[in-house]
Structure 1
């Protein structure tokens, strides 16, 4: 019988559904009370290093599959997981609408006078002005990624008649994008864009991608948005770009490190909108994630395989 360690809480109805599939549910308390040995766990629902690492590192671990509650998996010890031939599936798809809507919010903040109003609030300055006001269809965007989140973002931007380019590994076409570019040949698309959006996962290949060399290519861009990973942006390079006018504004939902230290210069720059890694937060995560677990459990119990959202451990997403 499969032993599922439920780090992510399961409702009574969900627990009943899982048990009816012939899967036993184990909690961290069961392991702490030594009612179940870490070696016996075969499936892990969620990840908590304090709980999960002893299971992974157990001398005779039987762990076969980890279902995460996030789309990004860079916080997992992927190389060790790969060495043990453990399958990882993620939550890709459930955070897409929330992040896409947050991206639109960042764009509106800087194009529809919200930023200007907040700058004037301390002086209680009231003046109607068209300065810095833009309509979305007057802009174009480039999104670094063409995954679930990027596709949903491009769909919403298209509804406002924004021209959207995408960047992926090979430049292959993707839904809702007007054009796509390969990651090593994106410069033509970048030159035409007013808004730059990063949705790339955290991998060795994306670490420090948005560095001084990248920002030196920019010429009076409107907005840089990062909802991917903080590790992809070199903070000093972004600050230099803002100071030099290469990009006018930045909206950062992810930073490196997190939490952002109180003495970070990112806090003091009023051309930066900071949100504390909340763009992907959704209500009722447990009910949104369970269908992915359920679909994968059905195939895993019968075949030992998973059917949805398997992560390429070598690529990191």
Structure 2
């Protein structure tokens, strides 16, 4: 262990011992930085700052500008801790090529995203969106506001990870029947039933609401296309808090216009920020939120709980204990 500590953190240059570097895209509270700086030099990236890239062994977050410095045959980079849950924008093939470990921030946003989805469900089922529109027009028309009860509804949750499980548990409390979709259809606690991703279209036929929480992979790109929306009940709704490119935006717009589904709520988009001229802004029965479902007031603590657990394991064994990503699968 003593040998590894010396090897991992020190380099002799001109007789001076140089600490290896943790390079981050953002700063953290002093109490967290102090824990890192016992073994490493912590640097917050700035494009104007001179960095000895040969000393960078860990990164917190990732910048495309780092590719040319850290993804080469001479790299000493060993571990990337992604800040978000999604890692689809990262150079996974290059990480695999250079044997770089990758972990993500999965679980940090589970509570916030669950709260966001519950808010959508209650506002939709109680006609709150229509009431807001009527208020703007100074209309009093209670008979025109549709409403439904949430209990006994079948809600299809596509993605049975930490967010999906937390949502399923919350929905069960309200008498909802949570049905899960994952890659293989394996059972997951909290769901009444689970099905494989290949059964998505069949499950869509009976669902009252379909919620996408999947990461973006080749398999999930444009998973929700024209053929999918054609399977939905006209009274059903669709929410996306996963990744924007999972939805064929043109197909969704067309489906809403044809009333193949009653309502949609999108928090993520194929192009972000959503351009002002995008037709989604003017699509009826669609709610747009600007990628805010995962915002959490206690982010640093939740993130550092993951990072520091991995950090201690990395120092002793060069392994990770939380949220390690399979680079071949992309999740």
| Fold similarity call, TM over 0.5 | yes
Deviations 1:12-63 (A, max 9, x none): 111211223x23323325x8543x411210100122323x324423552100
The corresponding residue for 2:13 is none
Q: Cα RMSD (Å) of the superposition?
A: 1.7
Q: Deviations over 1:121-170 (max 9, x none)?
A: 23311133384111210421001110111111111111111001000011
Match of 2:281 in 1: 267
Runs (5+) with no aligned partner, structure 2: 1-8, 10-19
Do structure 1's residue 196 and structure 2's residue 210 form an aligned pair?
A: yes
SS of residue in 2 equivalent to 1:186: helix
Could you tell me whether the CA contact under 8 Å between 1:8 and 1:69 is conserved in 2? no
Give runs of ≥4 in structure 1 deviating > 4 Å: none
Residues 202-245 of structure 1: per-residue CA shift (max 9 Å, x gap): 11110010001111112314210000111011111111211222
1:97 to 111, 131, 140: 111
Decide whether the 8 Å contact of 1:137 with 1:161 is kept in 2: yes
Structure 2 SS opposite 1:250: strand
Q: 1:33 to 1:245 in 2, by over 3 A?
A: closer
Number of aligned residues: 313
Matched, 1:3 2:21: yes
Structure (1 or 2) with the larger CA radius of gyration: 2
Q: Distance in 2 between matches of 1:186 and 1:15?
A: 45
- Counterpart CA distance in 1 for 2:237 and 2:291 is 18
Distance of 1:291 and 1:86 partners within structure 2: 21
Q: Secondary structure at the match of 1:217?
A: coil
Q: TM-score, normalised by structure 2?
A: 0.90
Counting only pairs closer than 5 Å after superposition, residues 104-123 of structure 1 correspond to structure 2 as 104-123=118-137
1:72, 1:202 within 8 Å by CA — same for their partners in 2?
yes
Does the CA contact (< 8 Å) of 1:89 and 1:309 recur in 2?
yes
SS of 1:142's partner is strand
